[in-house]
Amino acid sequence: MSSLRRRKPINESSDSKHKEEEEDEDHDDVDAVGDDDVNGKNKKTPSKIKKKRGEKPPKQPKWSCMDTCCWFIGCICITWWLLLFLYNAMPASFPQYVTEAITGPLPDPPGVKLKKEGLEAKHPVVFVPGIVTGGLELWEGRECAEGLFRKRLWGGTFGEVYKRPLCWVEHMSLDNETGLDPCGIRVRPVSGLVAADYFAPGYFVWAVLIANLARIGYEDKTMYMAAYDWRLSFQNTEVRDQTLSRIKSNIELLVATNGGRKVVVIPHSMGVLYFLHFMKWVEAPAPMGGGGGPDWCSKHIKAVVNIGGPFLGVPKAIAGLFSAEAKDIAVARALAPGFLDNDIFQFQTLQHVMRMSRTWDSTMSMIPRGGNTIWGGLDWSPEEGNSCAKKREKKNETQIADQAGSENAVCKAKSANYGRIISFGKDVAEASSSDIERIDFRGAIKGHSAANTTCRDVWTEYHDMGFAGIKAVAEYKTYTADSLVDLLHFVAPKMMARGTAHFSYGVADNLDDPKYKHYKYWSNPLETRLPNAPDMEIYSLYGVGLPTERAYVYKLSPHAECSIPFKIDTSADDEDTCLRDGVYSVDGDETVPVLSAGFMCAKGWRGKTRFNPSGIRTYIREYNHLPPANLLEGRGTLSGAHVDIMGNFALIEDVIRIAAGASGEELGGDQVYSKIFNWSEKINLQLVHISILLRLFIFLEVSISI
Amino acid sequence: MASNFLRLRKPYYVESTINCSSSSDQKLVNLSFGINETRNQTKKRQAKEHHGRRSCLDSCCWVTGYLCTTWWLLLFLYHCCLPFTAVHEVPELMPAARLKREGLTGIHPVVLVPGIVTGGLELWEGKPCADGLFRKRLWGGGGFTQLLKRPLCWLEHLSLHNETGLDPPGIRVRPIPGLFGADYSAPGYFVWDVLVKNLAKIGYEGKNLHMAAYDWRLSFQNTEVRDRTLSRLKSKIELMYQANGNKKVVVVPHAMGVAYFLHFLKWVETPPPMGGGGGPGWCAEHIKAIVNIGPSFLGVPKAVSNILSAEGKDVAYFRAMAPGVLDSGTLGLRALEHVMRVSRTWDSVVSLMPKGGETIWGNMDWSPEDEHVCDFSKKRYFRLSPSDNNVNNSNEKQVFRVKDPVKYGRIISFGKAASVLHSSQLPTAVLKEILHMSASRNFNSSCGEAWTEYDEMSRESIRKIGAADKAYTATTLFDLLRFVAPKMMNRAEAHFSHGIADNLDDPKYNHYKYWSNPLEMKLPDAPNMEIYCSYGVGIPTERSYVYKLSPNNKCKRIPYQIDTSVDGEDDSCLKSGVYFTDGDESVPVLSAGFMCAKGWKGRTWFNPSGINTYVREYQSKPPTSGIKSTTHVDIMGNIALIEDILRVAAGATGEEIGGNKIYSDILRMSERINLRL
């Protein structure tokens, strides 16, 4: 209090210098009252204070606004330091202790639990990270990136995105035509386990799995992170960085230095496709492949444990390529309309993102593969009859139990047409196929855009397209998986020209065709054969129970100037058909629909098929999503979401058991919660080799004729 | 209490806003009046008591806030100005930028081999005290903060097993792989970073640049046994060779990495059970050049003092300046004893012991550096160009010479007298005597748990060894160490040898313990390979020590210490108990240069295929910092050295970068060494 009392008169006196006498009087009064209220408790009369004021004149330092600010900052700093100190002084086990106090004892981490069971490190482990989870660092850059040498551009804190966004976008982009480095820029993948253990501080990807493997004795010599530049097309990682050769050499080294034990490969997300490519590459002869010989895989690989693998692509990739938005962005737009569209605020964020991500060939590896055969046509889809909301499902089931027939019919009638991955307008998405009038866009003349001149740069290829082209696209109304590829060819010819040189999205009719020796087919499971390795095992581990994007309702963007002309119609909502914010969703792990993750293991490769001539055993392990029980659990130990599943204890336990030598049967075979087997049944894919069919046919004919 | 403060702060805050705005807002005041009235009535008394403290707290906050704000402001300004200043620094720091303009591009893949203590180590499995440190750095980078937080735990995890020299049970500490491992050994203290930056400028990146990180605490062969490090290095080199269009690699080892890579050269060509099975032509096929930086081929005397008393020059200086600080058990927490206990479990330290015995390092009365002039402040090298030779200059040199040459050969002497007297005046065969006595040494039970092996020695034998008038040369030194630290030497001598081979064809030299000693191995058969010895000169470097018995004779103390009271005259080489010679602060010129200058020059015994060797010295310039520095570690940022490495990596041969470049007396020193070649 005393400081207060001291301070006040000075302020007042200084003020009074600039003020009129009367005001001074006022001030006195105010101060007197103020004093009174503050010091009232001291039972001091105003006169006494005034006297004091007179006694203690301007010796005291001035306590101004500035001082108050300083004082305030000081307070915050000190509190912060105090908290920081307490936090650091806190024993590391404290949060765990608190959690245990609240929820009862936590289960042991799987590593600890299995160590108690006596499991030990056996097979060396290779991790293959997916798209966007691997770190990238700068090796050579433009002037604007001065001082960032060997600093992470991708992953880590992403600090540079905020500091110099345009520079960052420039460095993260690849060359528009070659799909390789732009001139004078070299951005390379971070190598080693640090490449993808954490995506951002505190956001683990592989770290939990690594920590648990370390518990049973794994260390650097038995683990290898096959980090690659996830922006490049798969074959280009070999062309530019020799990444595939490195992985080959490292796997050979791991096998050699661990007493000939084969490796267990754990790819995640896009890493699954990358590793498929690798398996073909390594056995292909030298100029195009790695020249490992026809039995390389069976000699070196014990099991491929795919986690959340988008074998057949993800519909999300379409939305990403088509309009640079995903569900999250669409939802944000619905919540705050105008916020993202505001050019002043966002500096055309989406356009920048689109321009950048369209130079990444790898995004095209995620385009849905297999066309209408897999993803459904205008009127049917494998997931038909899927009911979406959990609550509803339960209700349905009870009702079905009561009055099976009629309810079922209703349900079916209202089912979404998942096969129409993109529809323009909600009515189009729901109408029956005969009602839709479609005008083919393929031959449409693109015309010249008036906007082209006003936009300084050609941001995206949309600006080459012109109004006529945009209109033509919208008039085709609805697109299935087959026509989507054509659509992308139409709207982004350059990108797709680059992409189709590296990836293919079809279904092979005859795998003996020599054209399938080309590397562009290697990452498409429907156009390659698995290697000849009967002892190998293929697992497909993925989460279920989360709504996953499957089809979109689009609309034309209202202002077509210098921006992306299409966007998801967030106003489209329908409870019955899983339509929310313009997105139809199905079961999956939030990114990959069950169909894409499970089909190959459930049907495509099951037993001896033409895609799996040596009869490699396949297993499906699904993990039902449960949200974290409390906040302290972080991202949950039971999560089934695409990336969070890497911290799922059940999954980690399975992986550790496989690494310690267990086979798929010992693990418990398939573990299925979704309707993947039903859905796979509906897909009419020829699995028997065509020559066998022919032979069968001839045999039948012969026998009939006899 | 806290609530009290909070409540009191509020009224003040209200008032200060009034004052600031200097507007008399009656309403607000009244409001605050009302609030305060009720509050104050309840807390009247306490508030009165806290008047004084509150203002104190306030001013504290104010000062902190003031400082913080100023700091942020400065920081902000600094960051704003940084781009402008950075532009000026870059060209000088980047010889690569200039070379790139000359059209140089990286051709040969580069392998970097870090030295001792520069590689990072991380924890993979630990005791409960190291909770939460999984895969965190224990050594290097931010790892040293753990030293402050939990020192004993930290030391425990960095120790190795006392008998096997491998992991202690329940602890796994592993080297950090990749370039992260060793580019910074501590924040702001670059080791490889500058070199890597420059290499990147001329086109190097992950696929043709590799850091061969290894656990530098282990003996070389054990890195293969435990971590398969040598196999990995072999596979990595083979991969880089293939992936870069069959271009041979350039290897750049630093400090102890030099010995490690020598070991690798032998290992890789030896057949499988012991070696890597690469076949006799492996090195010739895969390696273009080895650019040794600050090589400690023949060991460093510093290692001796480290093992004997866990102190180097720095510690000795420190003790001289502030006597008692380090010796007091309370403050120092017996730091040295702890350090000693830990570092004695590291086999690799033994690999740094002087090799070659008296033949190389000199005996009681003779040493190759006899003519060395010690006045470093006035020192000028007479021969600035390596071409014109020593004949004319030797006369001049006589003038400067101290009357009585320093007896460098006596690496350890007890008492100053022992370091200067003529050998005939010294008692002989001391060790033999003591060794006889060793049978009688008894376990010193009064000290409880034995910390260092000193505790297992009897007081008497300690005193006997430490009595004045004894001196040890590079050969007898080992007898001494074997006596004071029998376990460590037993363990380590199974992995390292420090002698000179009489007959290299003897099959015993096929054993791996000889592979890292250049005097007991043949270089591989690779006539097109090149070996460079690049090191700094012109900095006083420890060469021999004057010891004394430690004054306090209690338990768990190191019984010997460097006698820092011993000082020579101004121009003498003796300072604080340490004799100095020319070198790069850690490695004397003799150790760094001898093999390239003489041992391997031309076709010799040790170099049967006649691999070309080049000596490249870098002279220390007066402002010894940053880009011109030549000290042992700082030399990695020396632009002249970097330029040489870049040129070699871009395909230049030793002749093209200028052959030998010598400033020191290394040629004359080598001549004095009488070694059969």
Chain A neighbors of B232, CB-CB under 8 A: 221, 253, 257
Residue A266 pLDDT > 90, yes or no?
yes
Q: Among A201-215, A480-494, B22-36, whose mean pLDDT is lowest? A: B22-36
Reported as a pLDDT band with limits 50, 70 and 90, residue A247 is: very high
Report the pLDDT value the prediction gives residue B143, as an integer from 0 to 100.
63
Q: B383: exposed, middle or buried (C-beta count within 10 Å: 0-12, 13-18, 19+)?
A: middle
CA distance B428 to B418: 12
Nearest CA in chain A to B34: A37
What integer is the mean pLDDT of A109-116?
86
Nearest CA in chain A to B64: A74
Report the pLDDT value the prediction gives residue B403, as an integer from 0 to 100.
46
Nearest CA in chain A to B134: A211
Reported as a pLDDT band with limits 50, 70 and 90, residue A478 is: confident
- List, in sequence order, every residue forming a beta bridge with B618; answer none if it has no partner: B536
What integer is the mean pLDDT of A606-617?
89
Nearest CA in chain B to A2: B51
A194 in contact with B at a CB cutoff of 8 Å? yes
SS3 B292: strand
SS3 A343: helix
Reported as a pLDDT band with limits 50, 70 and 90, residue A61 is: low
| Length of chain B (residues) | 677
What integer is the mean pLDDT of A203-221?
88
User: Mind giving me the DSSP string for B29-62?
Assistant: HHHHHHHHHHHHHHHHHHHHHTHHHHHHHHHHHH
Put simply, the answer to whether A34 touches B32 (Cβ < 8 Å) is yes
Residue A454 pLDDT > 60, yes or no?
no
Reported as a pLDDT band with limits 50, 70 and 90, residue A20 is: very low
Reported as a pLDDT band with limits 50, 70 and 90, residue A170 is: confident
Mind listing the pLDDT tens digit for each residue in A630-654?
Answer: 655 566 777 888 888 888 889 999 9
Nearest to A68 among B16, B40, B235 (CB): B16
Residue A153 pLDDT > 60, yes or no?
yes
List the 515-534 stretch of A: residues with Cβ below 8 A of B: none
How many CB pairs (< 8 A) connect A and B?
188
Report the pLDDT value the prediction gives residue A400, as an integer from 0 to 100.
40
Report the pLDDT value the prediction gives residue B471, as an integer from 0 to 100.
78
SS3 A592: coil
Nearest CA in chain A to B41: A41
Residue B473 pLDDT > 90, yes or no?
no
Report the pLDDT value the prediction gives residue B240, as an integer from 0 to 100.
92
Q: What is the average pLDDT value for chain A, to the nearest integer?
A: 76
This prediction has a pTM of: 0.80
What integer is the mean pLDDT of A520-525?
90
Neighbours of A501 (CB within 10 A): 16
Report the pLDDT value the prediction gives residue A542, as an integer from 0 to 100.
92
B87: left (phi over 0), alpha (psi -120 to 50) or beta: alpha
Closest by alpha carbon to B481, among B412, B581, B410, B402?
A: B412
Q: Among A538-552, B75-89, B187-201, B540-554, whose mean pLDDT is lowest? A: B75-89
CA distance A698 to A702: 6
Closest by alpha carbon to A194, among A225, A161, A237, A234?
A: A225
What integer is the mean pLDDT of B57-71?
82
Chain B neighbors of A120, CB-CB under 8 A: none
Contact assessment for residue B215 and residue B226, using Cβ atoms and an 8 Å cutoff: yes
Nearest to B24 among A30, A42, A193 (CB): A30
Q: What is the average pLDDT value for chain B, to the nearest integer?
A: 74
CA distance A173 to A187: 10
pLDDT over 70 percentage in chain A: 71
Instruction: Establish how many alpha carbons lie within 13 A of residue A391's alpha carbon, considering only the half-sphere containing its beta carbon.
Output: 2
Put simply, the answer to whether A37 touches B33 (Cβ < 8 Å) is yes
Put simply, the answer to whether B60 touches A78 (Cβ < 8 Å) is yes
CA distance B363 to B477: 11
Put simply, the answer to whether B243 touches A68 (Cβ < 8 Å) is no
CA distance B572 to B569: 5
Highest mean pLDDT among A29-33, B121-125, B561-565, B626-630: B121-125
State yes or no: ipTM above 0.90.
Answer: no
Specify the pairing of strand A136-140 against strand A186-189.
antiparallel
What integer is the mean pLDDT of A121-137?
88
CA distance A118 to A106: 21
Put simply, the answer to whether A71 touches B227 (Cβ < 8 Å) is no
The full 3-state SS of A633-679, as one line of letters, equals: HCCCCCCCCCCHHHHCHHHHHHHHHHHCCCCHHHHCCCECCCCHHHH
Residue A453 pLDDT > 50, yes or no?
no
Amino acid at A197: D
What are the two backbone dihedrals, phi and then psi, of residue B584, each rounded to the nearest 5 degrees? -115, 30
Give me the sign of the Cα torsion angle A35, A39, A40, A46. Answer: negative
SS3 content of chain A, % helix, strand, coil (to 5): 50, 10, 40
Chain A neighbors of B59, CB-CB under 8 A: 3
| Length of chain A (residues) | 706
Contact assessment for residue A12 and residue B19, using Cβ atoms and an 8 Å cutoff: yes
B147: left (phi over 0), alpha (psi -120 to 50) or beta: alpha
Residue B366 pLDDT > 50, yes or no?
yes
Residue A677 pLDDT > 80, yes or no?
yes
Closest by alpha carbon to A303, among A660, A644, A681, A568?
A: A660
Distance from CA of A416 to the nearest CA of B (A): 49
Put simply, the answer to whether B235 touches A249 (Cβ < 8 Å) is yes
CA distance B276 to B515: 13
User: Mind giving me the DSSP string for A374-406?
Assistant: HH--SS--TTTT----HHHHHHHHHHHHHSHHH
Put simply, the answer to whether A78 touches B55 (Cβ < 8 Å) is no
Report the pLDDT value the prediction gives residue B555, as an integer from 0 to 100.
55
Amino acid at B365: D
Chain B neighbors of A4, CB-CB under 8 A: 12, 15
Which of A93, A220, A236, A300 should we substitute to test contact with B (largest number of B Cβ atoms within 10 Å)?
Answer: A220
CA distance A206 to B516: 39
Report the pLDDT value the prediction gives residue A442, as an integer from 0 to 100.
65
Report the pLDDT value the prediction gives residue A41, as an integer from 0 to 100.
43
Nearest to A78 among B20, B61, B242 (CB): B61
Residue B286 pLDDT > 90, yes or no?
yes
Chain A neighbors of B12, CB-CB under 8 A: 4, 38
CA distance B328 to B331: 6
What integer is the mean pLDDT of B528-537?
90
Q: Among A27-41, A261-275, A384-398, B521-535, whose mean pLDDT is lowest? A: A27-41
What are the two backbone dihedrals, phi and then psi, of residue A683, each rounded to the nearest 5 degrees? -80, 125
Closest by alpha carbon to A601, among A670, A532, A668?
A: A670
Closest by alpha carbon to A496, among A177, A235, A236, A230?
A: A177
CA distance B641 to B566: 37
